[in-house]
Amino acid sequence: MTKRFFVTGTDTEVGKTFTTQALLRALQARHTGCAVNGFKPLAAGAELIDGQWQNEDGVALQKASSSTLDYPLVNPEVYPQAIAPHIAAMLCQRPIDESNIDNALVQISECSDWLLVEGAGGWHVPFNPQRCFSDWVVAHQLPVILVVGVRLGCLNHALLTVQAIRASRLPLVGWVANHLSEPTEVSHDNVSYLKEAIDAPLLGVLPYSPGSAPVQLATYLDVSALD
């Protein structure tokens, strides 16, 4: 049985992909010989490469995965414009196809022992006017890992996101604090506060380290709570 987790963030641009890559590397180191792969169901913002639209986050997860995976399997729904996915879909006149995402999830799960599914933006990103990404996560009953971008406003964003995840009746199995700038005494205090306020294991605190490879930061993570 594949162990699957959904990685969400407190907002867009909080380092979800970078953190997911580090989590993949940490799981690969802990579970040697297992297939530990990444999955980006939906992405907006892409380049045309060899006749195929590819998103940089999807490419990053493809490269960080244990298995050799075709890009469309890692990122089945992708749109050129780097805007809210449902608006990108509307502009392309191509609605987000949940059945395509579902089929890809089944296929990639079959070749994975561990699978990290990375969301787009924050928890309640819309698929369309009636349905959000979080509804899809609930439908598949994926335990959640939260990435908190440590910056001004992160306390409110983190607590609201935790509340929304709990309201969805999904388990929050852990969270990661990701410093988005050089840490200060205040940012350390923010992490300390959230460590007490969030009823889930802190999997690690990632330092501000532009240019560092995810494999280097995997050592800052303790993924034993995910076993």
Q: What is the distance between the alpha carbons of residues 108 and 115, in angstroms, rounded to a whole number?
A: 8
Active-site annotation holder among 3, 16, 40, 63? 40
Q: What is the distance between the alpha carbons of residues 154 and 102, in angstroms, rounded to a whole number?
A: 32
DSSP per residue, 43-93: EE--EEETTEEE-HHHHHHHHHSSS---HHHH-SEEESSSS-HHHHHHHHT
Q: Which residues contact 215 (CB under 8 A, 6 or more apart)?
A: 22, 25
Q: Which residues contact 181 (CB under 8 A, 6 or more apart)?
A: 151, 187, 208
Helix segments in the chain, DSSP class H: 16-30, 56-64, 71-74, 85-92, 98-110, 133-139, 154-167, 185-197, 214-217
Collapsed DSSP state (helix, strand, coil) of residue 131? strand
Instruction: Decide if 195 is catalytic.
Output: no
Q: How many CA atoms lie within 13 A of 90 on its CB side?
A: 9
Just list the catalytic residues.
40
